[in-house]
């Protein structure tokens, strides 16, 4: 099977419409389930995955063979791979989601108005969520588990590279729902590889309440430009660490190193290091030597290259680039204000950190850097649902509305006003 269109346009359109229609209908059964029933789904799902392990691994092998044949990069092959260890961690994640408190039915606010009207603001599921993601098949289970626990129906569109793996995982979800006599349309994996299917999904504004795209620039732009449904983007991270002139050098070196090399391929890794001009000569040589030990390719602005001429020259494009690799750009700036301005111009409002012992400088940075997470003396790598104690996450939202930063169970809910009167009319 190739990724070329093997289905007719008409079939794709009609199937997507029908999936959305059924998902909305199924949602009502799910939204009214008590917590223990929603947890039961996740527990049974974990069992099914264990039972189906050989089938899942065989499907994954099929995807991997195709990926090798199509000469996909080793990074994609790595993200695509499932093995015993990764399945174990997937099951652990299910267990953790079960243990999390119920996000539904929380009374967020309650007032009795002077006229006696009782107004409550209560957390409820969002409805039907469309999740569009790329190669990692574990997202299929994480997204299904989080949406089910929060009472939402979900329509999944995984990457074409993980087509067979996703199908085997979706089979487990489907069997679980059937066994519990719940409508299987609570979770639907879109059965097409064609982008046309995504286009059609993005039009179903009466049935689908939210679209979450998680992936690279191309996917996110495509979804944002075509969606008639509200979108929460899980976009790129151009993250910065700024070493202030009043930084503790030991902390600065540890954090700058960790933010870049501990896992360079993820969105909360640092891409640009900013250094205060006043201390650049004192700290850069030691730091550069540490990066070289870790085989990081270093680029620098002109001032940085005066301190160490072995740095490659960074271009305007470098400041805008999410390398997701062992590559780092270094820029020397004039105090915290210079760092704030650089981040405003080039950052992606994801995660930025300042290293300083001066609280006033830290406050200025916190107030003026418009990012989902602003760190003081800590690595940007901590911007993560698990590290924040939210349990699992759908991803890290780079948007500002509804969900910002890690998107967990709570961010998968909205609210409804419930107003109880005694025959109240408005004068």
Nearest residue to 272 via CA among 332, 340, 330: 330
Nearer to its own copies, 68 or 263 (CB): 263
In 212-308, alpha helices (H): 217-226, 249-261, 277-293, 302-307
Q: Is residue 398 a contact residue for its own copies (CB under 8 A)?
A: no
Pick the binder of its own copies from 158, 391, 405, 408 (CB under 8 A).
405
Q: Is residue 419 a contact residue for its own copies (CB under 8 A)?
A: yes
What value does the CA radius of gyration of the chain take, rounded to a whole number of Å?
24
Nearer to its own copies, 70 or 115 (CB): 115
Q: Is residue 85 a contact residue for its own copies (CB under 8 A)?
A: no
Q: Is residue 370 a contact residue for its own copies (CB under 8 A)?
A: yes
Nearest residue to 330 via CA among 349, 308, 347, 359: 308
Q: Is residue 224 a contact residue for its own copies (CB under 8 A)?
A: yes
**What are the residues facing 210 on neighbouring strands?**
129
Nearest residue to 103 via CA among 348, 341, 392: 392
CB of 4 to its own copies, least distance (A): 30
The Cβ of residue 162 has, within 10 Å, a number of other Cβ atoms equal to 28
Of residues 260 through 279, those in contact with its own copies by CB under 8 A are: 262
Binding piece for its own copies, criterion CB under 8 A, among 8-16, 81-89, 173-181, 247-255: 247-255
Binding piece for its own copies, criterion CB under 8 A, among 10-18, 44-52, 238-246, 362-370: 362-370
**DSSP secondary structure letter of residue 101:** P
Place of tokens 């997202």: 139
Q: Is residue 65 a contact residue for its own copies (CB under 8 A)?
A: no
User: DSSP letters along 94-161, please?
Assistant: HHHHHHSPP-SS-EEEEEE-TTS-EEEEEEEE--EEEEEE-S-THHHHHHHHHHHHTT-EEEEE--GG
**DSSP secondary structure letter of residue 269:** S
On whether the CB atoms of residues 270 and 260 are closer than 8 A, the answer is yes
Nearest residue to 234 via CA among 394, 352, 402: 394
C-alpha distances out from residue 206 to 19, 23, 128, 132, 368, Å: 13, 12, 10, 18, 39
Nearer to its own copies, 27 or 164 (CB): 27
- Determine the Cα–Cα distance for residues 401 and 384; give it in Å rounded to an integer: 18
Q: Is residue 399 a contact residue for its own copies (CB under 8 A)?
A: yes
Nearer to its own copies, 259 or 283 (CB): 259
Q: Is residue 231 a contact residue for its own copies (CB under 8 A)?
A: yes
Nearer to its own copies, 176 or 379 (CB): 379
The size of the interface with its own copies (CB under 8 A), counted in residues, is 66
Q: Is residue 152 a contact residue for its own copies (CB under 8 A)?
A: no
Q: Which two tokens stand for residue 33?
A: 């389930």
Of residues 18 through 37, those in contact with its own copies by CB under 8 A are: 28, 31-32
The Cβ of residue 88 has, within 10 Å, a number of other Cβ atoms equal to 11
Q: Is residue 402 a contact residue for its own copies (CB under 8 A)?
A: yes
Nearer to its own copies, 118 or 194 (CB): 118
Q: Is residue 72 a contact residue for its own copies (CB under 8 A)?
A: no
Cα 384 to the center of its chain, rounded Å: 9
Q: Is residue 417 a contact residue for its own copies (CB under 8 A)?
A: yes
Q: Is residue 335 a contact residue for its own copies (CB under 8 A)?
A: no
Nearer to its own copies, 76 or 266 (CB): 266
Place of tokens 């930063």: 405
Q: Which residues are at the interface with its own copies (CB under 8 A)?
A: 28, 31-32, 111, 113, 117, 119, 126-127, 205, 209-210, 224-225, 228, 230-232, 248, 250-251, 254-255, 257-259, 262, 366-368, 370-379, 381-383, 387-389, 399-402, 404-405, 414-427
């Amino acid at each position: 099977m190739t990724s070329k269109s093997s289905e007719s346009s008409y079939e794709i359109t009609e199937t997507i419409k029908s999936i959305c229609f059924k998902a909305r209908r199924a949602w009502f059964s799910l939204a009214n389930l008590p917590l223990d029933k929603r947890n039961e789904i996740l527990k049974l799902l974990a069992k099914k995955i264990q039972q189906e392990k050989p089938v899942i691994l065989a499907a994954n092998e099929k995807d991997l063979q195709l990926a090798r044949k199509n000469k996909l990069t080793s990074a994609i092959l790595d993200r695509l791979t499932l093995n015993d260890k990764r399945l174990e961690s997937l099951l652990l994640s299910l267990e953790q989601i079960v243990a999390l408190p119920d996000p539904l039915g929380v009374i967020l606010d309650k007032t009795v108005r002077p006229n006696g009207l009782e107004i409550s603001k209560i957390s409820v599921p969002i409805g039907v969520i469309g999740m569009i993601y790329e190669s990692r098949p574990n997202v299929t289970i994480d997204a299904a588990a989080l949406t089910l626990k929060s009472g939402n129906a979900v329509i999944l569109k995984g990457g074409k590279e993980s087509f067979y793996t996703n199908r085997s995982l979706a089979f487990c979800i489907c069997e679980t729902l059937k066994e519990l006599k719940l409508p299987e349309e609570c979770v639907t994996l879109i059965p097409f590889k064609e982008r046309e299917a995504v286009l059609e999904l993005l039009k179903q504004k009466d049935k689908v309440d939210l679209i979450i795209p998680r992936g690279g620039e191309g996917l996110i732009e495509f979804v944002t430009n075509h969606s008639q449904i509200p979108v929460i983007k899980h976009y790129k991270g151009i993250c910065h660490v700024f070493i202030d002139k009043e930084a503790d050098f030991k902390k600065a070196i540890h954090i700058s190193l960790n933010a870049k090399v501990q896992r360079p391929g993820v969105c909360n890794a640092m891409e640009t290091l900013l250094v205060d001009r006043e201390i650049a000569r004192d700290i850069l040589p030691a730091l550069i030597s540490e990066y070289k030990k870790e085989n990081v390719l270093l680029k620098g602005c002109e001032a940085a290259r005066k301190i160490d001429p072995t740095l490659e020259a960074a271009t305007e494009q470098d400041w805008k680039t999410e390398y997701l690799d062992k590559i780092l750009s270094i820029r020397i700036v004039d105090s915290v204000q210079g760092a704030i301005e650089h981040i405003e111009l080039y950052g992606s409002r994801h995660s930025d950190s300042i290293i300083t012992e001066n609280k006033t400088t830290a406050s200025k940075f916190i107030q003026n850097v418009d990012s989902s997470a602003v760190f003081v003396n800590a690595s940007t790598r901590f911007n993560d649902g698990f590290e924040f104690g939210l349990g699992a996450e759908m991803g890290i939202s780079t948007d500002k509305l509804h969900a910002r930063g890690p998107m967990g169970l709570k961010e998968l809910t909205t609210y409804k006003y419930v107003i109880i009167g005694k025959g109240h009319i408005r004068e």
